[in-house]
Structure 1
Amino acid sequence: MTLTTTEFKTEFTKVFEALYASNIKDASSVQQYNALGNFIKVYSSENWNQTNQLYLDNQVKQVYYFSMEFLPGRMLKSNLLNLGILDTVRTGIKEMGLDFEEIVGSEVDPALGNGGLGRLASCFMDSIASLGIPGNGNGIRYRYGLFQQKFVDGYQVELPENWLRNGNVWEVRKENKAVTVRFGGEVYLKEDGKNKLRPIYSNTQNILAVPYDTGMIGYENDVVNNLRLWSAEIPVEEEINYKTVADREVVNQITEVLYPDDSNYEGQLLRLRQEYFFTSAGIQSIVRFFKKQQLPWSEFSNKIAIHVNDTHPALCVPELMRILLDEEGLGWEQAWNITKRSISYTNHTIMQEAMEKWPVQMVQELLPRIYQIIEAINQRHIDKKVPLYGEELTYRTTIISDGYIKMANLAIIGSHSVNGVAQLHTDILKEETLRDFYEMYPSKFNNKTNGITQRRWLHLANEKLTHLIDEKIGKEWKTNPAELRQFKAYSKDKDTLSCLADIKLENKQRFAAYAKEKYAIELDPTALFDVQIKRLHAYKRQLLNALHILDRYLKIKDDPSLELQPRVFIFGAKAAPSYIYAKQIIKFINALAHLINNDPDVGDKMKIVFVENYGVSLAELIIPAADISEQISLAGKEASGTSNMKLMLNGALTLATLDGANIEIKDLVGEENIFLFGLTNEEVNQLNREGTYSAKRVLDENERLNRVLECLINGMIPDIEEEGRVIYDSLIRYNDEYYVLKDFESFVAAQERADKLYQDKEAWNQKALINIASSGPFSADFTIMRYADEIWNVKGKAIKNRSFLKGNQPI
């Protein structure tokens, strides 16, 4: 299906006039955006319908990807790109006298995710569709999503993110596909006269789950898959039971915000309600779809693959069991076999404390039948494993223990595959975090290193770099990212390196213009742009970065005439509303920024920009402008990371610990094209085992570091009296849990190596090009190919020849 510019202008005008009955040139950019979105939806609707019909007619196996978060970013340009009409539409809009970029900027980022987990899910949805794999997303349609971040006097303040205020042009409400989700009440089992026990419910709260579907458009392949997000509503027949605003609010809360404050019991209860709501709704819709095909239950796992993205959807296990046992009348063994063969699980964390667990009493009261099933799964696990592995090992792997239900344990026991998201992460899961399970189920464990979609993070975010690569190596890399390696042949070509430098400068100028308009900060685009963009957490060590900045500042104050490589430090991060320490670090960095940015001794030698409300669209602005990619988590703490891949793809040099996927980046680009520092995972483990680490001793032995830390508490940095003391105490009094002080000297040395290299622009640009050329293996397309081939056992248009797979890297 081709589209000319003339055809586009005619059809677009028709759509606009049908919507608004007015002249398009008199419209607001929001109206123009809505009309363009509706045009795209109509233009792609035939493919969407045909894709669904094709899957149904051929009874193909489908993937259902369950995730608490999806963070798609703006979808207008992405959909135009994947439909192959971006240039046509952009030209048509210009010929109509309209501003294409203004229209694009009118789209609000969907607030459906927090960070890496949600963005990964969206990259995966793009790749699943682009590979022609029959796949569906399943999540929650949050009314407000994650909070909108504002800085007030340097403090993070959370405001509702009303991203749906102008509606969502991409979604289609499907009330005919709604299902009922049941909470609370009482349940008991009663014989049905056929030697089977049936659950009898009473006094339950019934919530209507209404799906909103969004088409996931594949890249130039006519495939449109489905992302289904569920909204909680009051069933019409039960309106009489919700007489007050407070009664209705209980229902509205379920799909109101992502990650409600779970520092108290009520917040935890709401989080559990959310998790059951979307897993129950999703599993019910899957079973309903399967039954339409009139296949025997033995075919279920041959037609359905259910993927649990982190522990939030782990209730898929007992919910599928509930439906098979209670509603379809299957026996336990048959239902359990179907469940395990259908469900797979991705673990996204290393830290035990981050793995979800819920109080037994909470689950009993909120989900009585689900608790009964979990209890039965747990008891059968014990009965089966004690004779094989003994009581000690078996009881360490139980789902219910110490008054809690452990969701990771439930997901592992109830699935056929458990994967980590980087090789180091998977090794740590096997050897440490989930060692008992690995001993019990070694064949379940596998690695699938995360990936990103180059379509958004290069084709859209950095169009001029995309055109340069096209010019040098052709366009095959766009559908086979491994071909990016051919770009390496130009690493010593002066013209190519000059073009690369010009593109980077232009991207930096673009961000500088944004910083000036938004924050009134003047940035030197020829300075080295140093970027750390990720969720604010102590283990990610934004604090280490800030202490290094403070050290540089002290050097300038000692000698304002000192020649230092000018730098712009860019931070983007949100802290969870209840994570007080993380919010105190934000205040410290903002106070430091205010001090440095306004000190005439510093001038252009150093600036700090902490962007507000970091999200996908800001990432698309920042990442192409980055020279350095800060990936400085304590080794052994970051599961994978994906910002490291996005920044590498855009030519930033990685400054990193050997953590997560940084190790695989190092292996691909070569140690000479990355700045490594810090403790290794083995060294961290040794320090933890020995228990001899003394932050105070590190401080006493390092005068430079001592002086930096004194600035936290001596009043040099205005307005952080409380925050400075808390941070100081976390490092000294509470012995520096994430070894910030231990890694400080190594970190500073790496930064100095980066400064020196940046003086040689040609050498820097060579390494930047090598990073770009080496980034192909981190394509989400390759990651999804491995999921499809090795876990889900599904086929797509692009998965005909499996010879491209070798271990974890395409060859």
Structure 2
Amino acid sequence: MDKELFIEKFTGKLPKDIKSASPQQLHDALGKTVMEMFADRWDNARQQHLSKRRAAYLSMEFLVGRAVYNNLLVLGIYDEVDEAFRELGIDLASLEEIEDAALGNGGLGRLAACFLDSAATLALPLDGYGIRYKYGLFKQSIEDGFQKEDIDDWTRYGDPWSVRCDEDTVLIEYSGQTVKAVPYDMPVFGFRTENVGTLRLWQAEPVKEFDFDLFNKQDYLEASREKIYAEDISRVLYPNDDTDEGKKLRLKQQYFFSCASLTDIIRKHKARFGTLENLADYISVQLNDTHPVISIPELIRQLVDNEGFTFEKALEMAKKIFNYTNHTVMQEALEKWRTDLVEELLPRIYSIIIQINEALIADMYAAGVQKEKTDRIKIIKGDLIHMADMACYASSHINGVAEIHTQILKDSVLADWFSLAPEKFRNETNGITQRRWIALCNRELSSLITELLGDDNWINVLDRLRELVKFADDENVLRRFIDIKQGKKQQLADFIKAHDGIDTDANTVFDIQIKRLHEYKRQLLNAFSILWIYYGIKDGSIQDFTPTTFIFGAKSAPGYRRAKAIIKFINEVGRIVSSDPDTRDLIKVVFVQNYNVSYAEKLVAAADVSEQISTAGTEASGTGNMKLMLNGAVTLGTFDGANIEIVQEAGEENNYIFGARVEDLEKIVPEYDSRSIFANDPMVKKVVSSLIDGTVSDGGSGDFRELYTALLDGASWHAPDHYYLLGDMRDYVETKLRCIKDYSADRHAFARKQWLNMCNSGKFSSDRTIADYAANIWGIKQ
């Protein structure tokens, strides 16, 4: 980078008194300067992508986080910009105030962001398509232990990393409504490559913004009606869908970005090749879960209605173009849309879905498939459209995201499809980008790795970390590693104090569970275990307990009552242990506010223990487990998702595995009686009874009593203790206590486990995942 040119361009975008510039002004000027300096590289890469076979990644979420530091790192200019800032008397660290792009919620969206990073770095022609949410999910605060939601207006100071492209606007038609989809492009810079990917995000806008005649008639609200209803489509991620209106809005969102993205793909292809006959030769579309599966009938609609293809030809092309990633084994998460709702909102799409369903049935009869099996896999069953079945029928490949997850798909969730087309199925174990998740967020550990390896090529080839195994018994290296971990813990403690106003002791064990709040992820089990430890310290059954800080980070969906009750319960447990003089110096519970990517960067670098405790067979993969492992945390977890592969890579002796496994649960569940465990294990009974015996308070909402009832008697859609908390609780607590005791008994031996986890994390690079997608699913090359 030409530093003098950078300073000239950068300062030209700031007030004369540079030192008085706000962090937002500095960020805006820096972003615009970098975008200008690398504009040609981005333009060249876009043309390269369009000239050859490429892939498009369609996802409802892209949890990209804060762009500025990551872009500086991958462009190789971080240190030069930092130096330039210091020369100007300003501080690059002040940009910590810049908010994350609120474009996702959990692992699915973060995975999509990691995939784009890896594809850009591997010089692969992959681009992303999604929605530019105005407010994203929400900004979370914790008040009196309860989650509170507010808007996350992440673009209120502008967004220098996005470019509006009005010339590519698409009109989206619903029954009774037409809206504009306006694209905003974000560059995805590759690390040490000229390649730049593009994330195109669609923003919903009205065709006619304001009705002046109605306004003059003093019908003020109606005058802006079209604008309000159009902008609602891209206003919020995952609007509450308890009502039909909420369901319609979700369906509108999914169709909105699917239609716009396919229109964009077709336009660009026609402009370059003049025909769509070869479309399947040049584009592969990855459907990230069932959210974008409406793309299948939409592509057929465009080919038939706009381009003159027959339905049969269009369906044949769709089967070659689309691929489907499944992210869940839970039936309730496999999307199903009511036929009347789809027909009301998208009548033409509904008629095409009927045709696809009929084609599927005809194919099954022609192949001699039993009627019972055909009835199980057909797309329209009763009054429901099953999106996963449509994806399986009209895709070239179907993949799970961890070895156990893919096996479960084959054995149960998608067993009928696997029996019909086993060649379609692949496993693609998820991964994370090492650029953000260690090179950026843990520069101290990265420097040590580079020193020991002799160069920093490991940032591109993460498998090289295996070469560091030889230092596992080097006392000097382990001491330096412990010191780095301690420094990251202190940095996190300082940030928690500044961000949340909570004091934490960096000299304690940092036991961290960070992930979306859902019952199957069992944050409630973690909270129960802390209460168990509290009772054990009080009654003397647990002695010499090593001081531990239990840190949670999670958001609950606003309408998910039970998940919000779990947040309150966690904070109630925290109140109890902190207010008791017998435990206040031994146990600390911290629920951080507004957990997001930037917060995660600090948490993963500081963790000693990584909590990955989902019920075996429920977590498709997990990627938080990989981030924590890469930064030198041991996994305390079940034999579930990618935990299995983590243990395979790093050794079970270097991690802490507990609980029933999938094969165990298959035998246990039919006869499982949570009340029997409750009745026969006094500590389980004491901990669970805290929900109703006055130990904790839910503010009179009755939510804790509902949790109690769900565990012991079942509730709504599920059997008692559906996620096996009571069954796994004693083994979990005993394993957790052993883990914490190991930490204090021999810090170097525990650090050795942490070090070996880091050394064996190479498999979990998203570079490996994307290289496999490129070669075996998309058929794209560097």
Aligned to 1:234: 206
1:29 alignment partner, one of 17, 23, 28: 23
Q: Distance in 1 between matches of 2:354 and 2:502?
A: 58
Aligned to 1:177: 168
1:54-112 per-position Cα deviation (integer Å, ceiling 9, x unaligned): 334xx21111110000110110011111111111101111121101101x213210111
Aligned to 2:611: 630
Aligned to 1:60: 52
Q: Determine if the alignment matches structure 1 residue 723 to structure 2 residue 715.
A: no
1:273 alignment partner, one of 232, 248, 252: 252
For 1:428-467, list aligned pairs within 5 A: 428-467=408-447
Asked whether the 8 Å contact 1:587–1:723 carries over to 2, the reply is: no
Aligned to 1:804: none
Aligned to 2:351: 372
Aligned to 1:337: 316
Offset of residue 400 of structure 1? 0.6
Which sits farther off after the overlay, 769-778 or 707-716? Answer: 707-716
Secondary structure in 2 matching 1:794: coil
Q: Distance in 2 between matches of 1:424 and 1:561?
A: 36
Q: Determine if the alignment matches structure 1 residue 350 to structure 2 residue 348.
A: no
- With normalisation by structure 2, the TM-score equals 0.96
- With normalisation by structure 1, the TM-score equals 0.92
Q: Distance in 2 between matches of 1:161 and 1:228?
A: 21
Secondary structure in 2 matching 1:468: helix
Provide closer, same or farther for how the CA distance between residues 376 and 507 of structure 1 changes in structure 2, counting only shifts above 3 A: same
Offset of residue 301 of structure 1? 1.2
Secondary structure in 2 matching 1:231: strand
Asked whether the 8 Å contact 1:531–1:629 carries over to 2, the reply is: yes
Q: Distance in 1 between matches of 2:200 and 2:496?
A: 36
Secondary structure in 2 matching 1:262: coil
1:88 alignment partner, one of 74, 80, 90: 80
Amino acid paired to 2:587: M
Q: Distance in 1 between matches of 2:446 and 2:330?
A: 38
Aligned to 2:756: 770
Secondary structure in 1 matching 2:154: coil
Asked whether the 8 Å contact 2:634–2:753 carries over to 1, the reply is: yes
Q: Distance in 1 between matches of 2:501 and 2:156?
A: 28
Q: Determine if the alignment matches structure 1 residue 148 to structure 2 residue 148.
A: no
- Unaligned regions of 5+ residues in structure 2, if any? 215-221, 715-719
Secondary structure in 1 matching 2:577: helix
Which sits farther off after the overlay, 472-481 or 78-87? Answer: 472-481
Asked whether the 8 Å contact 2:210–2:227 carries over to 1, the reply is: no
Q: Determine if the alignment matches structure 1 residue 779 to structure 2 residue 779.
A: no
Offset of residue 560 of structure 1? 11
Asked whether the 8 Å contact 2:283–2:321 carries over to 1, the reply is: yes
1:406-434 per-position Cα deviation (integer Å, ceiling 9, x unaligned): 11111111111110000100000010001
Provide closer, same or farther for how the CA distance between residues 55 and 563 of structure 1 changes in structure 2, counting only shifts above 3 A: closer
Offset of residue 244 of structure 1? 2.6
CA RMSD for the aligned pairs?
1.6
- Unaligned regions of 5+ residues in structure 1, if any? 185-203, 797-811
Offset of residue 294 of structure 1? 2.3
Amino acid paired to 1:726: E
Aligned to 1:390: 370
1:305 alignment partner, one of 271, 278, 284: 284
2:156 alignment partner, one of 133, 157, 165: 165
For 1:288-303, list aligned pairs within 5 A: 288-303=267-282
Q: Distance in 2 between matches of 1:401 and 1:53?
A: 44
Asked whether the 8 Å contact 1:212–1:231 carries over to 2, the reply is: yes
Offset of residue 207 of structure 1? 1.1
Q: Determine if the alignment matches structure 1 residue 259 to structure 2 residue 234.
A: no
Offset of residue 718 of structure 1? 4.3
Secondary structure in 1 matching 2:549: strand
Secondary structure in 2 matching 1:389: coil
1:318-370 per-position Cα deviation (integer Å, ceiling 9, x unaligned): 11101111111012222112111111110000011111111101111111111
Q: Distance in 2 between matches of 1:422 and 1:297?
A: 35
Secondary structure in 1 matching 2:55: strand
1:362-412 per-position Cα deviation (integer Å, ceiling 9, x unaligned): 111111111111100100110110242021111110111120111111111
Secondary structure in 2 matching 1:315: helix
Secondary structure in 1 matching 2:696: coil
Q: Distance in 2 between matches of 1:291 and 1:7?
A: 40
Asked whether the 8 Å contact 1:523–1:604 carries over to 2, the reply is: no
Asked whether the 8 Å contact 2:211–2:223 carries over to 1, the reply is: no
1:746 alignment partner, one of 731, 738, 744: 731
Number of equivalent positions? 766
For 1:613-628, list aligned pairs within 5 A: 613-628=594-609
Asked whether the 8 Å contact 2:210–2:226 carries over to 1, the reply is: no
Asked whether the 8 Å contact 2:698–2:704 carries over to 1, the reply is: no
The percentage of counterpart residues that share the same residue type is 43
1:145-195 per-position Cα deviation (integer Å, ceiling 9, x unaligned): 1011111211111111111111111111111000111101xxxxxxxxxxx
Which sits farther off after the overlay, 599-608 or 622-631? Answer: 599-608
2:66 alignment partner, one of 57, 62, 74: 74
1:668-694 per-position Cα deviation (integer Å, ceiling 9, x unaligned): 001101100000011112223xx2111
Offset of residue 53 of structure 1? 2.5
Amino acid paired to 1:549: I
Offset of residue 282 of structure 1? 0.4
Aligned to 1:201: none
Q: Distance in 1 between matches of 2:395 and 2:149?
A: 37
Provide closer, same or farther for how the CA distance between residues 741 and 50 of structure 1 changes in structure 2, counting only shifts above 3 A: same
Aligned to 2:639: 658
For 1:242-257, list aligned pairs within 5 A: 243-257=222-236
Aligned to 2:217: none
1:744-802 per-position Cα deviation (integer Å, ceiling 9, x unaligned): 11101111220221021110111111000100110000100000000000001xxxxxx
Offset of residue 479 of structure 1? 1.1
Offset of residue 513 of structure 1? 1.4
Amino acid paired to 2:158: G
Q: Distance in 2 between matches of 1:332 and 1:661?
A: 41
1:716-765 per-position Cα deviation (integer Å, ceiling 9, x unaligned): 23456633322222211222111101001110111122022102111011
Q: Determine if the alignment matches structure 1 residue 755 to structure 2 residue 722.
A: no
Asked whether the 8 Å contact 1:524–1:604 carries over to 2, the reply is: no
2:104 alignment partner, one of 113, 119, 132: 113
Q: Distance in 1 between matches of 2:349 and 2:679?
A: 55
Amino acid paired to 1:730: A
Secondary structure in 2 matching 1:145: coil
Asked whether the 8 Å contact 2:269–2:275 carries over to 1, the reply is: no
Offset of residue 519 of structure 1? 3.6
Q: Distance in 1 between matches of 2:29 and 2:210?
A: 37
Secondary structure in 1 matching 2:458: helix
Offset of residue 236 of structure 1? 4.5
Offset of residue 7 of structure 1? 3.7
Provide closer, same or farther for how the CA distance between residues 745 and 561 of structure 1 changes in structure 2, counting only shifts above 3 A: closer
Aligned to 1:514: 495
1:591-625 per-position Cα deviation (integer Å, ceiling 9, x unaligned): 11122123222132110100011110110111111
